Chain A
């Protein structure tokens, strides 16, 4: 299949698989620009070449130093035909090539084990002109369900979406970027993408939703930092069809610790998060704070004796030393002051949150007015609860076995009881009356871990029962993924880094962080070091273990994305509203 690539931009000069040199016209170029090189040696292929460096050259120029000296000394000297002689020698790497398969009617991408032939013509990928050709060739590398950004080539973002497949959500995501690099906007855009995906599934009648629990540490996402926010999407959908809104968001999408502090427009769909003390397990606390072995033993001892009421019984020494008891008591004092945690199960809505996660919804948790401990603990409890329920599902194939499994999991008594009483097992985990779903049939869930260095510390991650450690290692099996968000790569445990199969790295603070990001990437991105140094706000390098290529993306502003996609929301129709035939 021959693609229309426009006019040639230059010629392949030389090089090898590791590095190519091409000679191009004297036109504006940028590091990161991409060229297509059609080659018919052997079979017809389109090679993809990416600029990593370039220099100005003058054709037929002998020694540039001598020429420069002459121009200085001899005042009447000139360079003949200078404009035509100005060229650019470009260095870069072959990313791979695309080969068209007539049978499947599409391009297959292959990594670069071959070279284009001598003096092949090269074509610069340019917006509108030939970006569709690149899109076709890289379809297998770019396709997916969750939008991350537009492919950035040089300084130009193309109309090519870079996506993450929903099946890779449980393989964990790392999002790194220094302050001001655009993390918040990225999270908003990703949040929107989850909503859009679920909306599309609903419209197409597909039961294939995805869940995002995103932490909003600065309360930016709902109303947005610009003109629009997630609330605008909710309102837009709700104004067209309350049924669709209910399907996608239920009665709430916004979690907070204070409804009064919530903006009026958001209040309609806000819920004050309430978790009872009885729903907290020792393992939750150990996942967010480093306790000493005696303290750990003490908490477990209390739980063994008092079950769900163990927190209320802190102070009962149970044979432990006063120092141990006092330390635990001091640490847990924040629970009494918290707006989130209440004594008594009656007011808890943890199960509502868990249900929302299992139903394929997007939840925003505003933690701007919570303490870090409250944020970490509540997120941990939610994550642990869902994780344990899914572990039970994984271990069962019938309802009876599932109930038994639930009884043995790290779940509070009240959760075990209520999940059964409210028929949530049947609703979420059964295929029919008795058969249990496979975990691959459950909704993929992505849970963000904000300020990850504070909670995913090496010491905490060393603890065997750590909830995040368990999820990072096993989450894939249960359809639960973590989105680890951090300003620095260096502060994340290397073992955890290796588990983050998708990494989105925005501008980093310094050269050391860049080197670490390159080292931690699941693909060889050593050629991108210069790219990292010039990443602008809202630009990121995306690597994934399931992709052959890294990509540089430009994350558009949420407002722009919202406006661009507004037709998605304004054309929603309520399925039950009858058509009015005039």
Chain B
């Protein structure tokens, strides 16, 4: 179909109508945000970034994890094969050697130098798929079985909302989980390849993150890709990833590791307005951050987010902008860590804690490739990403192996690819 057919009058009209709606919505949201402007005055903060020659009293380690994959490597009848990759990098701030953010070699710590590559094969048969996903999870995530992370999640839930949920007998609960495991887990449909890859990717990322946490390395920061949003606690069934995430947070707290989820796309209405306010107050070059208040704040959430899970359960959310040219990013911290390490009844002390936190995050964001964005996740992303050529080569190799085993190539290539649709 010619491209001209898309640029019809209808398209123009619909786009106009859509943006008009968005604009109206934005105006109404701005009105809501205006009600909390006085609160933002105290939440919006700027700071002087560390200079290039800065030396921390003690250099520290920052780990980051990211994942990638191929959602449709091969299909064979009702079987689907995906490839998932995840990578972790660990940097030393290394300011005392004047070579900031030096890589730490991981061979002795994490197999394959922190790169995980797994083939995930699943069936369209739902019951088989469920077992395959559980098996996959148990094969990569450092745990005895899924009972532990589910128990961790419920333990945290009981701390998060003690009125709603209490654990009277952990052992009993543990046995219940073990016997009714499938009642606790929300599985995607086996026919939704992209959703499945998303799940498997998450599992792979959290696996590496857990290995980092369990290693002997004195990690200070563990940066995950994406927010710490989970299904609202209290639901009977949640995705496996949510359990693993909370398990990770619990393990990290035990080792004084700061877990945070960094999102390139903030998805926060009003963020642009907050950024404009910051620009007006601090100047366009300012490095600033702003906490999005939640239950830790006596006045609770912002009016604009009253019907949204922002911040997410068991997390504290900030938005920040570390340079004029970089976008607004979002970062979530584990709530329990935050209340212990950042929160203080003394507002000035709390402010100092936040300043210290964000100055350190800002220092990691001075890497010239991605100025304004913490570089460890950037390097992790580069490490795990499969380029188009690599995807083609891997797919081709997979088919070759199948052929060596007597499977015909024509049975492996998806119909869509075959007919070019």
| Chain A interface residues toward B at CB < 8 A | 60-62, 67, 70-71, 74-84
Contacts and interface: CB of A to CB of B under 8 A. Distances in A.
Nearest to A74: B371
B52 A77 contact: yes
A71 B51 CA distance: 13
- Please indicate which of the listed interface residues A60, A75, A80, A81 has the most CB atoms of chain B within 10 Å of its own CB: A80
Contacts of A67: 368-369
B371 A81 contact: no
Contacts of A82: 99
A191 to B, nearest CB: 57
10 contacts: A60-B369, A75-B52, A76-B366, A77-B52, A77-B371, A78-B100, A78-B368, A79-B367, A80-B100, A80-B102
Contacts of B368: 67, 70-71, 74, 77-79
A506 B102 CA distance: 48
A74 B379 CA distance: 20
B289 to A, nearest CB: 17
Contacts of B369: 60-62, 67, 79
B102 A81 contact: yes
A187 to B, nearest CB: 54
A575 to B, nearest CB: 67
B379 A80 contact: yes
A78 B52 contact: yes
4 cross-chain pairs, A with B, having the tightest CB-CB distances, nearest first: A80-B101, A70-B368, A77-B368, A67-B368
Contacts of A61: 369
Interface in B97-123: 99-103
B382 A80 contact: no
Contacts of A81: 91, 99, 101-103
Interface in B232-254: none
Given A60-B382, A84-B103, A78 B49 contact: no
Given A61-B369, A74-B323, A77-B367, 10 more contacts: A60-B382, A70-B371, A76-B50, A76-B51, A78-B101, A80-B91, A80-B102, A80-B379, A81-B101, A83-B99
Interface size class of B (residues with CB under 8 A): 10 to 19
Contacts of B52: 75-78
Contacts of B51: 75-76
B290 interface: no
B375 interface: yes
Interface in B333-389: 366-369, 371, 375, 379, 382
A60 B367 contact: no
Contacts of B382: 60
Interface in B31-82: 49-52
A80 B371 contact: no
A62 B371 CA distance: 12
Contacts of A79: 367-369
Given A60-B379, A60-B382, A77 B366 contact: yes
Nearest to B364: A80
Contact of B375 (A76, A80, A83): A80
A242 to B, nearest CB: 71
B413 to A, nearest CB: 23
Interface in B173-215: none
A407 B260 CA distance: 105
A62 B368 CA distance: 10
B129 to A, nearest CB: 35
Nearest to A118: B393
A58 B95 CA distance: 21
A83 B368 CA distance: 15
A77 B49 CA distance: 11
Contacts of A60: 369, 379, 382
Contact of B366 (A62, A78, A84): A78
A79 B379 CA distance: 12
Nearest to A69: B368
Contacts of A78: 52, 100-101, 366-368
A154 to B, nearest CB: 30
Given A61-B369, A67-B368, A76 B379 contact: no
A457 to B, nearest CB: 58
Nearest to A85: B103
A82 B102 CA distance: 8
- Please indicate which of the listed interface residues B52, B323, B369 has the most CB atoms of chain A within 10 Å of its own CB: B369
Nearest to A62: B369
A429 B375 CA distance: 84
A77 B326 CA distance: 14
Contacts of B102: 80-81
- Please indicate which of the listed interface residues B49, B51, B52, B371 has the most CB atoms of chain A within 10 Å of its own CB: B371
A84 B102 CA distance: 9
Contacts of A80: 91, 100-103, 367, 375, 379
A76 B103 contact: no
B75 to A, nearest CB: 26
B104 to A, nearest CB: 10
A118 to B, nearest CB: 8
Nearest to B51: A76
B325 to A, nearest CB: 8
Contacts of A71: 368
A351 B369 CA distance: 80
A188 to B, nearest CB: 53
Nearest to A84: B103
A78 to B, nearest CB: 5
A67 B366 CA distance: 11
- Please indicate which of the listed interface residues A77, A79, A81, A83 has the most CB atoms of chain B within 10 Å of its own CB: A81
A476 B103 CA distance: 66
Contacts of A84: 103
Contacts of B49: 76
Nearest to B101: A80
Nearest to B370: A62
A83 B99 CA distance: 9
A61 B366 CA distance: 14
B388 to A, nearest CB: 14
